[in-house]
Amino acid sequence: MPQPGSATVRSRVRIPLTFPDGYRAEAEVFTFHGLADGAEHLALALGTVPDGGTPLVRLHSECLTGDVFGSDRCDCGPQLRESVERISEAGGYLLYLRQEGRGIGLYNKLDAYALQDSGLDTYDANTALGLPEDGRDYTAAAQMLAALGVGGIDLLSNNPDKAAQLAELGTVVRHRVPTGVHLSASNVRYLTAKVERTGHSIELSRLVG
For the question of residue 136 being annotated catalytic, the response is: yes
Alpha carbon distance 2, 25 (integer Å)? 36
Of 199, 186, 182, 194, which Cα lies nearest the Cα of 83?
Answer: 182
| Cα–Cα distance for residue pair 31/148, rounded to 1 Å | 11
- Shortest CA distance to 4 belongs to which of 164, 159, 151, 146? 146
Among 54, 31, 84, which Cα is nearest to 150's?
54
Distant-in-sequence, close-in-space partners of 35: CB < 8 Å, separation ≥ 6? 7, 41, 140, 143, 144
Options 67, 75, 111, 134, the catalytic residue: 134
The catalytically annotated residue of 58, 136, 154, 176 is 136
Q: Are 82 and 56 in contact (CB under 8 A)?
A: no
21 has catalytic annotation: no
Q: Which helix (H) or strand (E) covers residue 57, if one does?
A: strand 56-61
- β-pair type (92-97, 42-46): antiparallel
Q: Which residues are tagged catalytic? A: 134, 136
